[in-house]
């Protein structure tokens, strides 16, 4: 769509399989995400985002190679959720990219960031495959 500059289409044009909250089964959204003992999420949309992320970090881990978080403006609850997602991604070693959209967002700049992220994910995947081959070679 115009608002997100055909974001999903750009990813698909680069051969990326795209998952969105709307693609996930309803069972993913049944249990609330508890951030810590004192901090609970009170925003419905952000709760769904966290539930989706937690799904992909556990049961759906093998389905993804990275996460792109598309937000509108860099304020409000999305800024907190973005930080939490980024921390989770670091723990499991998944590439993470946050793209903030506003009325000044340009198509070319977003495309450059998408292409760089895809290249980073592909290089990481290739390196992991090479490391695995080395381990198998030295084990035999």
* CA 94 and chain centroid, separation: 8
| pLDDT on residue 109 | 83
| pLDDT on residue 139 | 76
Alpha-carbon gap, residue 121 to 126, rounded angstroms: 9
* CA 30 and chain centroid, separation: 20
The answer to whether residue 91 sits within a structural domain is yes
The answer to whether residue 46 sits within a structural domain is yes
pTM, entire model: 0.79
Domain that holds residue 45: 7-139
The answer to whether residue 93 sits within a structural domain is yes
User: How confident is the chain (140 residues) per 10-residue block, as mean pLDDT?
Assistant: 76 92 92 74 84 92 91 78 90 91 76 93 91 84
| pLDDT on residue 97 | 94
Which CATH number goes with the domain that contains 35?
Answer: 3.40.50
The answer to whether residue 2 sits within a structural domain is no
């Amino acid at each position: 769509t115009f608002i997100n500059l055909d974001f999903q289409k750009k990813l698909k044009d680069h051969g990326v399989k795209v998952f969105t909250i709307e693609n996930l089964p309803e069972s993913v959204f049944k249990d609330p995400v508890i951030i810590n003992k004192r901090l609970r999420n009170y925003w419905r949309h952000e709760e769904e985002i966290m539930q989706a992320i937690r799904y992909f970090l556990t049961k759906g881990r093998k389905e993804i190679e990275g996460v792109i978080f598309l937000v509108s403006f860099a304020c409000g609850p999305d800024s907190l959720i973005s930080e939490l997602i980024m921390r989770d991604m670091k723990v499991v070693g998944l590439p993470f990219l946050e793209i903030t959209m506003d009325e000044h967002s340009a198509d070319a700049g977003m495309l450059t960031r998408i292409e760089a992220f895809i290249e980073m994910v592909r290089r990481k995947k290739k390196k992991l495959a090479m490391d695995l081959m080395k381990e198998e070679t030295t084990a035999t």
